[in-house]
Amino acid sequence: MSMSKESVMSASIGSNGSKAVGTFENLSLDPSLLRAVWDSGYQTPTPIQARAIPLALEGRDVLGCAQTGTGKTAAFALPILNRLRTSPRGGPRALILTPTRELAAQVAESFHVYGRHLPLRSSVVYGGVGMEPQIRQLQRGVEILVATPGRLLDLMGRGHVKLSGVEVLVLDEADRMLDMGFIPDVRRILRSVPARRQTLFFSATMPPSIRTLAAEVLNDPVLVEAGPRAKPAEGIRQVIHCVERSQKRVLLTHLLREHRIERALVFTRTKHAADRLAQHLLREGWRVGALHSNKSQSARTRALDAFSQGSIQILVATDIASRGLDVAGISHVINYDLPGTAEDYIHRIGRTARASATGDAISFFEPGDREILREIENLIEMRLPLEPELDFSAKGTDVRHGTRATITDAPDRNRRRRRRPQHRHLTSAREVPA
C-alpha cells in the first residue's frame, strides 16, 4: 500500500469526508429507489449507509469496515442501482462477489427488493446447484451479477459470462473470503474486470492481508466504518452459563422451555455435533433444522426458508451461518459450543438483534473454554455476566418441566459474582467505549 493511499484512508477514519446525512431523501437517490426504501419500512439510513452512499454516488472507491447487520448491503446496492438505472442493457455492469451461497442469495434478494421499480435485471450464481438455469439467465442478459468466486470462474471458463463491461465491483465480506481460501480465485476474476471501474470493498475486520488486497484493488479509497470494529449490536443481551459438556443438552432444553424461545439459532462447533443435536431436539418434540456445509444446497435453502417462515423454531448450525445470515426475528442465539475465534462470537451473536431490534445471546461455557472466553471478553471489552449454575444431576429434578433447579458452587466466576452482584450490564451503551 502506498503511503499516500494509506494516509488518505486513515485521515478518513471517522469523518470519511462526508457530511452526516439524517434521511434517505438527503442522499440524492433516484425517486424509484426512495420508494423501494420506503416500501421496506426503513426510516433513516444506518450509519454505514449515511456515510458510504454519498461517496459511492460520487463514484469514489470505498473501503467499508462493517459487519453484517449494519445495513451494508443497501450501502452498496442503492448507489449501484442508482448508477445503472438509466443505462443501456447488456452484459453485467456490476459484479458483487461474496464468500458464501447464502450471502450471495441474500445480496441478490436485496438488489431485487431495492431495484423493484427499475427495469434492471440481476442474477445470482453460486455452486452446489445446477449450472443450466444460471447459464440461461446469463444468456438472457443481466446488468447486475452476484456470484461466489468458484462458480463464476467455472462459468467464465465455459464462456458463459464476460466481465469486460463491469463498471462497479463489490467485494463483500472480504475477510471471510480470505478465511475460506478464495483470495486466489478473486484475483483470477479481477484479471478479467476492467481496471477502470469503481470498487466497493467491505470487510468486518481489516487484518494486514485484507489491507494488502484492498490496496491492490482500490483506487484512492475512502475508509468508512460502521462504528467500532468489534462492537456487538447494543440491543443484544449477552450471558454465559457454566456447564459440564455432559449437561449441555439438558441445559439447552431447559432454556428453550424457560425462555419460551420462538426462533433460536444454536451454534455447535462441528457439523456432526449439529446433526446429533438437531436429532436429539427433534426426538424431544421441537421443530428443528440443521445447517452446515455438508448439507446440499437445496437442503440448506429449505432449512433457511423454514426457519424464516417459522415452521421450524430452532436451527442448529455451524459457523457457516455465523456471517451473512439475515433472518428477521431471531430471538435467541445460543452458543452451545463457543466458537473458535472471538470474532466469530461477534458474528454469531449479530444474527439476533438485527437492524436495531433486541435479542438474547446465551453462551455455554465449559471448563476448557477459559482461553477463548478471555479472548472474547477482551475483544468486546466487557465481562460477560455468568448466570447462576443449574444442577440437573439432582435426583427427581425434572428440568424439562421447569422444576426448580438447585444452584451450586461454580468456579471462581460465580464466587466473584456473588461478592459483586451489581455486575456490569451489557446492554448499557456506556460500557462500550465508542
Q: Rule CB under 6 A: which residues touch ligand AMP?
A: 42, 45-46, 49, 68-74, 326, 354-355
Q: What are phi and psi of 203, to 5 degrees?
A: -155, 140
Closer to ligand AMP by Cβ: residue 38 or 90: 38
Min dist. Cβ of residue 92 to ligand AMP (A): 21
Closer to ligand AMP by Cβ: residue 73 or 247: 73
Min dist. Cβ of residue 86 to ligand AMP (A): 24
* Beta bridge partner(s), residue 237: 360
d(CA 2, CA 16): 19
Distances (CA, A) of 168 to 12, 106, 193, 297, 346: 22, 19, 9, 28, 30
Min dist. Cβ of residue 36 to ligand AMP (A): 11
Closer to ligand AMP by Cβ: residue 98 or 247: 98
Closer to ligand AMP by Cβ: residue 77 or 252: 77
What are the grid coordinates assigned to 177, written together?
473470503
Min dist. Cβ of residue 74 to ligand AMP (A): 5
By three-state DSSP, how is residue 162 classified? coil
Q: Which residues, in sequence order, are CB contacts of 7 under 8 Å at separation 6+?
A: none
Q: What are phi and psi of 28, to 5 degrees?
A: 60, 40
Closer to ligand AMP by Cβ: residue 71 or 359: 71
Closer to ligand AMP by Cβ: residue 49 or 199: 49
- 68 dihedral zone (left: phi>0; alpha: psi -120 to 50; beta): beta
Min dist. Cβ of residue 193 to ligand AMP (A): 23
Q: Strand 168-171 vs strand 288-291: parallel, antiparallel, or unpaired?
A: unpaired
DSSP-assigned states of every residue in 166-181: --EEEE-SHHHHHHTT
Q: Which residue has the cell 439467465?
A: 137
Min dist. Cβ of residue 206 to ligand AMP (A): 17
